[in-house]
């Protein structure tokens, strides 16, 4: 792997250097973006984080409502409270995963990485909690599934922008939801009003590991033309 592919891995607070890193080609950022859970406890400068969030909110959103919000968590007590929620959920989810797929080497590597994050969650310098303003859906009301996909579809493009910006500047980032499994506790930790709904959590820090290319199933295996099982697309652009 070349240094260009692995990208910058050193901390910076220099605005000129941040802008230089953000000039990374889009194809390279997309092809080498991966979940980076192991990060250093070193601080992330506010200006670097602000620049990533500025790019996050450039994303499209349903009806251009821009009804999102981002809670930036640096407080150690709040991180510890989320860590406790993470460990409770992971004790169940991780246990099931080990029983079902623990013998698979790729799964074992992922689970080891998640375990590291669970064990060191309080030391992660920044947690970003993307939220939706407008309140959760009406409980127990029968709604088609498209309601949920439309609702969350208004913020996940912004989350992806945040992940791509982090990748370009060299921050390690991941998208997780287990610390939010108890929405009641999440609301208490963040003092959220009922009109604001936490969606996911993005831990950020300068990486211990590196970004890089990863194995993905091929397009011919995944794409169906006109109908399920209806063939595949032609060859890619050279």
Is the pLDDT reported for residue 218 higher than 90?
A: no
Return the pLDDT at 140: 59
pLDDT tops 60 at residue 197: yes
**Helix H or strand E segment including 203:** strand 202-205
Q: What is the pLDDT of residues 89-138, one digit of tens each?
A: 999 877 777 776 667 888 888 889 999 999 999 999 999 999 999 855 56
Give the C-alpha separation, 205 to 208, whole Å. 9
pTM of the model: 0.90
CA nearest 45: which of 14, 16, 19, 69?
14
């Amino acid at each position: 792997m070349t240094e260009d592919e692995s990208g910058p891995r050193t901390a910076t607070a220099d605005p000129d250097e941040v802008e230089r890193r953000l000039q990374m080609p889009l194809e390279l950022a997309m092809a080498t973006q991966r979940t980076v859970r192991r990060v250093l406890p070193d601080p992330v400068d506010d200006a670097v984080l602000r620049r990533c969030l500025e790019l996050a909110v450039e994303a499209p959103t349903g009806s251009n409502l821009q009804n999102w919000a981002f809670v930036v968590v640096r407080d150690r007590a709040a991180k510890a409270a989320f860590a406790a929620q993470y460990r409770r959920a992971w004790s169940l989810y991780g246990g099931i995963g080990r029983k079902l797929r623990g013998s698979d080497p790729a799964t074992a590597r992922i689970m080891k990485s998640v375990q590291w994050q669970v064990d060191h969650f309080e030391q992660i310098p920044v947690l970003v909690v993307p939220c939706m303003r407008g309140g959760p859906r009406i409980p127990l009301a029968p709604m088609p599934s498209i309601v949920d996909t439309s609702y969350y579809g208004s913020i996940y493009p912004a989350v992806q922008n945040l992940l791509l910006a982090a990748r370009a500047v060299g921050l390690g980032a991941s998208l997780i939801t287990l610390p939010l499994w108890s929405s009641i506790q999440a609301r208490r930790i963040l003092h959220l009003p009922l009109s604001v709904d936490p969606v996911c959590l993005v831990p950020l820090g300068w990486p211990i590991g590196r970004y890089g290319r990863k194995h993905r199933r091929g397009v011919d295996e995944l794409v169906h033309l006109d109908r399920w099982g209806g063939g595949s697309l032609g060859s890619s652009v050279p």
